[in-house]
Amino acid sequence: MTPAARYGAAIEILDQILDGTPAEKALTTWARRSRFAGSKDRAAIRDHVFDILRRKRSTAVEGGVETGRAMVLGLLRQEGIDPATVFTGEGHAPATLSEAEQAAGQPAEGGAALDLPEALLEMFRDSLGDDLAEYAEALRHRAPVMLRVNSRKLSRDAAIPKLAAEGIIAEVSEAAPNALHVTEGARKINNSNAYRDGLVELQDGASQAVAEALPLEDGQKVLDMCAGGGGKSLAMAARAKARFMAYDANAQRLRDLPERARRASAQIEVCNNPEGAAPFDLILCDVPCSGSGSWRRAPEGKWRMDADGLHDLTQLQGQILRRAADLVATGGTLAYATCSVLKQENDDVVASFLAENQGFSLTREIHWLPGADGDGFYLAILTAQ
């Protein structure tokens, strides 16, 4: 496909997304119907679609209207690409722009320039203060590809040449002691020997930093209360010789964990009944959240979130924390984490919990903003007296 034809495909897919089809489904359906597209075409089209979803408001304003065609026009304008080189009308390229289309559009301002939903702007301003613009700008760009080197198997310095031999170029990141930032060859990771042999895991830098900040010690009994795919369980297991147990309300989410643990040479037990296995020295509650710290990876979430949804999430977050509190040993640690930057899901949930649970005190609190090597995250470390 020509570069212009890839934009043509992106327009088609974006129109379906604007009609309500989830992005992944629209991309897969298009790929099934379009056998002529190779893997590089599919990857480039996906990048165009997600670049626009991250900037849904500003590209519509700068392109003149919320349609796939106008939003591609808005993106090209933002990126300083001459629209006439894409809207050529040749082959599968988008049709040439009419005079009305060329005249439409204006510079995005306010909430549109920040690419945040208008209804939530005040809430973000309240949570982030002077950091709002930096936060919003980070979400308008692609997320970094980050690896965690499995320190049980090799050092970070030794991992760099091993990855390079497989065409994956990575550099040391400040985000966490075992973090690498991949600068080239990211698409080769999943099929690499380094990945298959458990030398590295794909894991965001701030996620790694959360696991690093936990007061883990050899010999502890540890519960990952919302383990999901087990990213944090694995990062914890690389740090200490402790007994690790992983629980998730949705047991299906844990299905890949045994295989991931085997690859990493880690021991993690799947736990179906945390109450039966209590007490624990350390419990991590990496709770379900809005994902507002990681919307650059999943930009549809940014446009889907509303006040009701946020309220339901905060209720669930409080419930999980209260359940976990009953399972912590005296003197033990209850850690609460979200990949959100919103006060409502972070400081406020912890403050209400502490107000009702005098037996716990706040030992440490960390806020991460999305940046070059990591997503936005929050961690509160609570100690049981």
Which residues carry a binding-site annotation for S-adenosyl-L-methionine? 248, 286
81 binds ligand SAM (CB under 6 A): no
258 binds ligand SAM (CB under 6 A): no
Q: How far is the CB of 237 from ligand SAM (least distance, A)?
A: 12
- Residue window 273-312: x/- pattern of binding to ligand SAM, with contact defined by CB under 6 A: -------------x-x------------------------
Q: Which stretch binds ligand SAM (CB under 6 A): 10-18, 126-134, 166-174, 221-229?
A: 221-229
231 binds ligand SAM (CB under 6 A): yes
Q: What 3-state DSSP class applies to 223? A: strand
249 binds ligand SAM (CB under 6 A): yes
Q: CA-CA distance, 187 to 351, in Å (whole number)?
A: 42
320 binds ligand SAM (CB under 6 A): yes
227 binds ligand SAM (CB under 6 A): yes
Q: CA-CA distance, 45 to 10, in Å (whole number)?
A: 6
Q: CA-CA distance, 55 to 129, in Å (whole number)?
A: 21
Strands 328-338 and 280-286: parallel
165 binds ligand SAM (CB under 6 A): no
Is 339 known to be catalytic? yes
Among 57, 34, 54, 46, residue whose Cα is nearest residue 7? 46
228 binds ligand SAM (CB under 6 A): yes
How many residues lie near ligand SAM (CB under 6 A)?
15
Q: How far is the CB of 286 from ligand SAM (least distance, A)?
A: 4
- Helix and strand numbers, DSSP H then E, in the chain: 18, 11
Q: CA-CA distance, 182 to 192, in Å (whole number)?
A: 14
Q: How far is the CB of 179 from ligand SAM (least distance, A)?
A: 15
What sections of 38-131 are H helices per DSSP? 39-54, 56-63, 68-79, 99-103, 110-114, 121-128
Nearest CB to ligand SAM, comparing residues 214 and 320? 320
Q: How far is the CB of 333 from ligand SAM (least distance, A)?
A: 16
Q: In this structure, what token pair is assigned to residue 31?
A: 């790929």
- 62, 101, 201, 248: which one contacts ligand SAM (CB under 6 A)? 248
C-alpha dist (Å) from residue 303 to 25, 124, 154, 267, 295: 17, 14, 41, 39, 10
250 binds ligand SAM (CB under 6 A): yes
Q: CA-CA distance, 326 to 278, in Å (whole number)?
A: 9
Interacting residues with ligand SAM (CB under 6 A): 207, 225-229, 231-232, 248-250, 253, 286, 288, 320
The residues annotated as belonging to the active site are: 339
